[in-house]
Structure 1
Amino acid sequence: MTKHLDDIRSAVAGLHVDRSSGQPARHQPITLLWAMGRAATGRARLLPWKDARPDLKRLLKEYGRPGSDPAPQYPFVALQDSGLWQLDGVMGEVPVARGSKLLPWLNSQNPRGGLEGWVYDLLADDPEARRLVTDDLVSRFFEGEAPHGLLRDALLLGPVFDGFGPVPGVKAGTVFANRAALHRAQVHRPLQGGICGTRENGAESIVVSGGYEDDEDLGDTIIYTGQGGRDERTGQQASDQQLTLGNAALVTSRTAGRPVRVVRGASGDPQHSPASGYRYDGLYLVDDYWSERGQSGHLVWRYRLVKLPNEPLLPVPSLAVPTQPAPTLPVPAGQETLTRVEASFMRIVRSSAVANYVKRAHDFSCQVCGIRLGTPTGAYAEAAHIQGLGRPHNGPDIASNVLCLCPNHHKLFDFGMLVIADDLAITDRSTEQVIGRLREIPAHQIERRFLAYHREHHAPV
């Protein structure tokens, strides 16, 4: 079996193709890939010329060299000389492949063509052999390109990669020589930009390479600065950033919970960056985003990205047993300095006592809308930290930094769409209208410094 695979690969390496344009023509390799796809999907090995012609002509027109003649009659006959191809049902002498008599002859005789039987059987039964031969054809005839469209149309790929999540066949830790190599592998498609994505669909990938002065690379956590406003001559921030393009894409990733591929370049933090080129470092979640004045004094958008473990863990909402309001409950001390425990990544240990106290103090009723949600096992509410706990916010896990909110208003607050003034007036940033006042009770008072911090990062003046 190995000898037969070596024979196929040797035949591919020895293909004689037209080079009159200065580059090897792609007619024969495209036809071979088409036939390999038929083997991979269990379709007939030999196909009459008139049935094969439309498919081959379309593939040659779409994926052949620019300006080349999409004439499938040439490879359909010329591949006989490779030792990989069979013409069946031929009467008399076969015309020269590039001659003018070939097409009338094919149309008249309509022979069947396809892979030799032993080639078909091997490639149909052995996916690894199919992959190796495909790689040989692609590396020789599609140098510097990734012809995913051709392989998909030839039925040699599974579902089409939509650009999000892990790239099929690329493992975390893979190093690429340059941006062009990242582009070809579909790990990061832009040849210059640091963020790949759209406002509508979210971000596919980012590159962390020390390009922005406010970036912080902590390994499993990255504080990433958005794009725009930088003077290309000096590399310094020269104007405010806008929540558009890639910056908006990262916000969409945050709201949709879609992971983002992270690539580190050699010019980034030496402790976490490759010695040369670019390294794909796996998937990260956009855990938070906000705006602030950067080192230059200009407004920048910032994002905290947290590395996903091998098996992402989903947050489990806490359901609490309903109780009566307890204004006389002792307020738990909480933590001014947060404890961290090391597992496969650094994780903040939150005080469940603080969250439970705040929710019980408000009888699980939202401080914004007053809604109290009932479930089969009791009332449900969420504890929302006003000044975030994670770096770089480093807010304390204490009751005066926590709100009791319904899920909707929790999300809107985290996304900065609700901001609260010191007099507790609540502004909906989508309309810039005051929609009410935050409900505060004697047993649970909010420190205004935390509200000010939240406003500064979500509604800067």
Structure 2
Amino acid sequence: MNSGDDVLGALRNLKTHIKDRRPSRHKPITLLWAIGRLAAEQERTEDHLVGWQTFRDEVGPLLRDFGLPDSSVTPQYPFWHLRSSGLWDVEGIETRGSTPTPSQLTAAGARAGFSKDAADVLRRSLARAEAVGLICSTHLPDVDREALLERVGLAGYASASGELPGRDGSVPRRRHTSFRPDRDSRLVREIKKMYRHVCQVCGERVETRDGHYSEAAHIRGLGRPHRGPDQLSNLLCLCPNHHIEFDKFAIYIEEDWTVRRNSTGAVAHELKLHAGHVIDQDHIRYHRALCGRG
């Protein structure tokens, strides 16, 4: 399974235990945790499997806090049964037969995690964004996304803008009350002037006492983990409402520039485009992946 399409297909078709007509959250929560560990790697390593005791200590509390309210906290089940996804390896213990008990996993020194091929795919920024968006939208629609992603080290994927970069971030910073990306104010002025403050989504202009108001929205956010470029090809001119909706994945843009509602997939608007504004489709695709529409 060494292509992004293979990994996304496996995630989309993930089989979960059904109880009282509700799918268990154990497997998708575990997969987000494992993606978070990959994203946190300081350098690429071939040994990305995690020992059972570490897995139990880290995944158990996540299943308790984000699993179904009446679901038992049984980290041994995703540890073992994620093998059926084709994305997951278990080593150190015989993989045939019934689910081993926690004591058996401890005694065997069992380890588990993404297969090498799946891990290689999920180290790529676009594939990781697609995977996180798909898991949240398809398997965990009723979970507090922001809280869960923060717990597993993927907080930046909760919005299109991402987390603000720290001192080692790739975006230049200026010291204010906190560190934030230092945007090129010339580009902000240019995109607003180009569209005369008209929102590219709804076509409306917000009127104020002193004139009109709009916001420059990055399609692929400057913050971690997106690290998008501060370029005109990565900017939209939006009204405040549609800026928030775009940033929080309520709307997304198709390749043909239709704007759709993420909750229904229904076409809401046609994106307004100025002849001098060339938008990079790769950024549009990245945002669409975060919406779970990759």
TM-score, structure 1 as length reference: 0.34
For residues 397-431 of structure 1, give each alpha carbon's deviation from its aligned partner in whole angstroms, at most 9, with x where no partner exists: xxxxxxxxxxxxxxxxxxxxxxxxxxxxxxxxxxx
**1:27 to 1:261, Cα distance in 2 relative to 1, 3 A:** same
1:75 and 2:73 correspond: no
**1:54 to 1:5, Cα distance in 2 relative to 1, 3 A:** same
1:51 and 2:54 correspond: yes
Letter matched to residue 138 of structure 1: C
How many Å apart are 1:263 and its aligned residue? 6.5
* SS state at 1:158 partner: helix
Q: What is the alpha-carbon distance in structure 2 between the residues aligned to residue 218 and residue 155 of structure 1?
A: 38
Letter matched to residue 98 of structure 2: V
Contact 2:52–2:110 (8 Å) recurs in 1: yes
**1:222 to 1:67, Cα distance in 2 relative to 1, 3 A:** farther
How many Å apart are 1:80 and its aligned residue? 1.0
Contact 2:91–2:110 (8 Å) recurs in 1: yes
Contact 2:24–2:67 (8 Å) recurs in 1: yes
Contact 2:149–2:158 (8 Å) recurs in 1: no
Contact 2:49–2:113 (8 Å) recurs in 1: yes
Letter matched to residue 155 of structure 2: L
Letter matched to residue 34 of structure 1: W
The number of aligned residues is 175
Contact 1:30–1:59 (8 Å) recurs in 2: yes
Q: What is the alpha-carbon distance in structure 1 between the residues aligned to residue 13 and residue 158 of structure 2?
A: 31
Residues 21-420 of structure 1 aligned to structure 2 (within 5 Å)? 21-42=20-41, 45-90=48-93, 92=94, 94-97=96-99, 101-124=100-123, 126-143=124-141, 145-158=143-156, 168=161, 219-221=206-208, 261-262=240-241
How many Å apart are 1:58 and its aligned residue? 0.8
Q: What is the alpha-carbon distance in structure 1 between the residues aligned to residue 209 and residue 21 of structure 2?
A: 47
How many Å apart are 1:135 and its aligned residue? 1.2
Residue segments in structure 2 that go unaligned for 5+ positions in a row? 163-203, 211-238, 244-260, 269-294
How many Å apart are 1:168 and its aligned residue? 2.7
For residues 412-455 of structure 1, give each alpha carbon's deviation from its aligned partner in whole angstroms, at most 9, with x where no partner exists: xxxxxxxxxxxxxxxxxxxxxxxxxxxxxxxxxxxxxxxxxxxx
* SS state at 2:23 partner: coil
For residues 218-258 of structure 1, give each alpha carbon's deviation from its aligned partner in whole angstroms, at most 9, with x where no partner exists: 733279xxxxxxxxxxxxxxxxxxxxxxxxxxxxxxxxxxx
Pairwise CA RMSD: 3.4
**1:159 to 1:118, Cα distance in 2 relative to 1, 3 A:** closer
Letter matched to residue 58 of structure 2: D
Aligned match of 1:270: none
Q: What is the alpha-carbon distance in structure 2 between the residues aligned to residue 16 and residue 102 of structure 1?
A: 21
Letter matched to residue 5 of structure 1: G
Identity %: 29
For residues 125-153 of structure 1, give each alpha carbon's deviation from its aligned partner in whole angstroms, at most 9, with x where no partner exists: x1110010111111111225551111111
Letter matched to residue 220 of structure 1: E
Q: What is the alpha-carbon distance in structure 2 between the residues aligned to residue 168 and residue 5 of structure 1?
A: 23
* Structure 1 residue ranges, 4+ long, deviating more than 4 angstroms after superposition: 260-264
Letter matched to residue 24 of structure 2: A
For residues 365-408 of structure 1, give each alpha carbon's deviation from its aligned partner in whole angstroms, at most 9, with x where no partner exists: xxxxxxxxxxxxxxxxxxxxxxxxxxxxxxxxxxxxxxxxxxxx
Q: What is the alpha-carbon distance in structure 2 between the residues aligned to residue 140 and residue 55 of structure 1?
A: 23
1:12 and 2:25 correspond: no
* SS state at 2:19 partner: coil
Q: What is the alpha-carbon distance in structure 1 between the residues aligned to residue 58 and residue 68 of structure 2?
A: 17
Structure richer in helix, relative to its length? 2
Contact 1:95–1:102 (8 Å) recurs in 2: no
How many Å apart are 1:21 and its aligned residue? 2.5
* SS state at 1:86 partner: strand
* SS state at 1:119 partner: helix
Contact 2:17–2:24 (8 Å) recurs in 1: yes
Q: What is the alpha-carbon distance in structure 2 between the residues aligned to residue 222 and residue 69 of structure 1?
A: 57
Letter matched to residue 141 of structure 2: E
Q: What is the alpha-carbon distance in structure 2 between the residues aligned to residue 115 and residue 37 of structure 1?
A: 12
Contact 1:123–1:130 (8 Å) recurs in 2: yes
Aligned match of 1:357: none
Contact 1:26–1:65 (8 Å) recurs in 2: yes
Q: Which has the higher contact order (CA 8 A, sep 6+)?
A: 2
For residues 267-320 of structure 1, give each alpha carbon's deviation from its aligned partner in whole angstroms, at most 9, with x where no partner exists: xxxxxxxxx99x9xxxxxxxxxxxxxxxxxxxxxxxxxxxxxxxxxxxxxxxxx
Q: What is the alpha-carbon distance in structure 2 between the residues aligned to residue 222 and residue 62 of structure 1?
A: 48
Letter matched to residue 221 of structure 1: T
TM-score, structure 2 as length reference: 0.52
Contact 1:39–1:121 (8 Å) recurs in 2: no
Aligned match of 1:438: none
Q: What is the alpha-carbon distance in structure 1 between the residues aligned to residue 107 and residue 86 of structure 2?
A: 25
